[in-house]
């Protein structure tokens, strides 16, 4: 039976013994490899304690890193969406510019084929009055434009100038009910007059007999009669021929070659006999010697 008030070694003695044991182990470990196995066993025993002790720190670092990464990803995603939106907008503009460039190339090629002096004009506005097919372009008398000048696009006749202001002009389309244009069938030279119907992309040829040599698919070109439209410009393609035995004339309709509801650029044409210096209306310089000199770039 142990004594109730028995005393063991004092704290100082215990501390001294621990220091001596520690120093001895350090010396042994430094001079030999006898304690390597002991160290390995102790490391295996103490590893769970080390992992448990470092768990809060590791958890905090993992969570904070995840939150920071999530916030940075959100910012990066927002920035990339803004960049994508800007790039998509630029691509839309580039696509529009590409189409405009294609249209201008077609107009330029057409101007060299015409042989007359020409001026490129852009669409400004469209008159919205019912049954009036009139548009406004951005070239006027300041550029030598005058009434009755023919206007066309890359595909064919669009109409003619009806009013020329200093900086703009009004163009009546060939589909206007008040417009008429002398035409001829390109296949056989049959002449007639095509009238506007007031309907988009629709012309009427009311003065051809039931036995006239004209069929759907025939190309109508300007005949040159009347002195407004030079001969040879494409006007329309016949799409309907309806004979009416009870009447003197057949019912004939045609579709204009020009893209009247789509074109944004037009060619205003001068004949060989009336050359002008663009931007100086009223002056009539000497006629150029070659056709190439007559073609004026806008």
Q: Judge contact between 189 and 202, C-beta under 8 A.
A: no
Of residues 182 and 33, more confidently modeled: 182
- For 177, the 3-state DSSP assignment is coil
205, pLDDT greater than 90: yes
Q: Distance (Å, rounded) from C-alpha 251 to C-alpha 209?
A: 9
pLDDT tier at 130 (50, 70, 90 boundaries)?
Answer: confident
CA distances from residue 238 to 54, 154, 201, 219, 245 in whole angstroms, order as listed: 90, 19, 12, 7, 20
Q: Judge contact between 220 and 194, C-beta under 8 A.
A: yes
Q: Distance (Å, rounded) from C-alpha 192 to C-alpha 206?
A: 9
- Indicate the Cα dihedral angle 200, 206, 208, 211, nearest 10°: 90
Q: What is the pLDDT of residues 54-97, one digit of tens each?
A: 788 777 777 777 888 888 888 888 888 877 877 766 666 566 66
218, pLDDT greater than 90: yes
- What percentage of the chain has pLDDT greater than the value 90? 35
Q: Chain-centre distance of CA 157, in angstroms?
A: 26
């Amino acid at each position: 039976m142990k004594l109730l008030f028995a005393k063991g070694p004092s704290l100082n003695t215990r501390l001294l013994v621990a220091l001596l044991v520690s120093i001895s182990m350090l010396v042994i470990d430094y001079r030999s490899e006898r304690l390597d196995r002991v160290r390995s066993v102790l490391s295996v025993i103490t590893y769970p304690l080390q992992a448990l002790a470092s768990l809060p720190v590791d958890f905090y670092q993992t969570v904070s890193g995840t939150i920071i990464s999530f916030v940075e990803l959100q910012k990066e995603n927002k920035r990339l969406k803004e960049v994508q939106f800007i790039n998509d907008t630029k691509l839309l503009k580039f696509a529009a510019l590409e189409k405009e460039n294609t249209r201008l190339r077609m107009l330029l090629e057409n101007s060299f084929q015409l042989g007359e002096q020409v001026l490129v004009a852009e669409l400004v506005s469209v008159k919205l009055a019912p049954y009036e097919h009139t548009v406004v372009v951005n070239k006027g008398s300041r550029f030598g434009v005058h009434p009755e000048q023919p206007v066309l696009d890359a595909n064919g006749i669009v109409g003619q100038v009806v009013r020329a202001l200093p900086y703009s002009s009004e163009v009546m389309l060939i589909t206007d009910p008040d417009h008429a244009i002398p035409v001829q069938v390109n296949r056989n030279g049959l002449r007639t007059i095509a009238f506007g119907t007031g309907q988009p992309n629709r012309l009427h040829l009311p003065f051809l007999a039931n036995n006239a040599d004209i069929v759907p698919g025939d190309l109508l070109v300007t005949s040159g009669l009347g002195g407004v439209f030079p001969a040879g410009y494409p006007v329309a393609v016949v799409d309907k021929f309806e004979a009416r035995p009870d009447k003197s004339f057949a019912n004939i309709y045609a579709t204009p070659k020009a893209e009247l509801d789509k074109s944004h650029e037009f060619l205003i044409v001068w004949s060989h006999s009336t050359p002008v210096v663009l931007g100086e209306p009223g002056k009539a310089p000497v006629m150029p010697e070659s056709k190439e000199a007559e073609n004026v770039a806008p």
